[in-house]
Amino acid sequence: MNARACIIVPAFNEEKQIAAVIESIRLHSRAGIIVIDDGSRDRTVEVVKETGTLVIRHPFNIGYGVAVQTGYKYAFEKGYDFLLQMDADGQHLPQYIPDLFAMVESKKCDIAIGSRFLGSSYFPVGLLKLMGIRLFRIIIKVTTGQTITDPTSGYRCMNRKVLEKFTEDSFPVDYPDANIMIFLHRMGFRIAELPVTMAPNPEGRYMHQGLLKISYYVFKMFLSILVILLRKKENQ
């Protein structure tokens, strides 16, 4: 594994899972781990510190997208060449970390996404979310010609060029999902997927839950994609 690689883990109120997640990451990778605490109100920061892991703390809760971008900014400033991001709730199983890093390090792609819909594993997804995922798959296919089976996956690994792009203000911090794929594709970055198995959230918490939240998410995503498509196509 390259020495200049890091793993960022955005966390919000994850005191119960975070220590186990860090431990399991360490079993599979020697890359530096950075936890970005998004203004947790529980003992997440203390628990992370107890494990001896670097924690960057937001002064208040700003959101998942901002938390990952803080991680990108840190990694970019510190000169990391490769960055992998994964969730703090234990959904992203760490045995795929070496494969995701290998895909990007071997220059097969600029960004590798862990997809729960590739391969033979089954992941339970609610009907509304599944409809949303299918809709965005079609939009990505139509706008880029590429098939991305899991556009909402937060299990991603990227090289420094992508990392740099993500530190800019153009990074859509509200919901960095399908829009990011189109954004990167239009800039000429190569996107690839790797089949992964994901575990359900232990407490049954998901980012997009309920009809209202999902509708708002779909609306924002459509708007974001439209804006990206209307912008002048530029090379990386």
Letters for 114-153 (x = contact with another protein by CB under 8 A, - = none) are ----------------------------------------
Cβ atoms of 74 and 48 closer than 8 Å:
no
- If phi over 0 gives left and psi between -120 and 50 gives alpha, with beta otherwise, what is residue 49? alpha
- Does the footprint of another protein cover residue 214 (CB under 8 A)? no
CA distance 35 to 62: 15
In the list 53, 70, 91, 224, the residue contacting another protein (rule: CB under 8 A) is 70
- Does the footprint of another protein cover residue 58 (CB under 8 A)? yes
CA distance 227 to 61: 26
- If phi over 0 gives left and psi between -120 and 50 gives alpha, with beta otherwise, what is residue 148? beta
In the list 3, 27, 59, 107, the residue contacting another protein (rule: CB under 8 A) is 59
- Does the footprint of another protein cover residue 60 (CB under 8 A)? yes
User: Quick one: which segment of 58-66, 127-135, 180-188, 192-200 binds another protein (CB under 8 A)?
Assistant: 58-66
- Does the footprint of another protein cover residue 173 (CB under 8 A)? yes
User: Beta-strand (E) ranges in the chain?
Assistant: 5-11, 32-37, 54-57, 82-85, 111-115, 156-159, 191-195
Residue with Cβ nearer another protein (55 or 148): 55
Q: Contact positions toward another protein, by CB under 8 A? A: 36, 54-60, 62, 66, 69-70, 73-74, 77, 169, 173
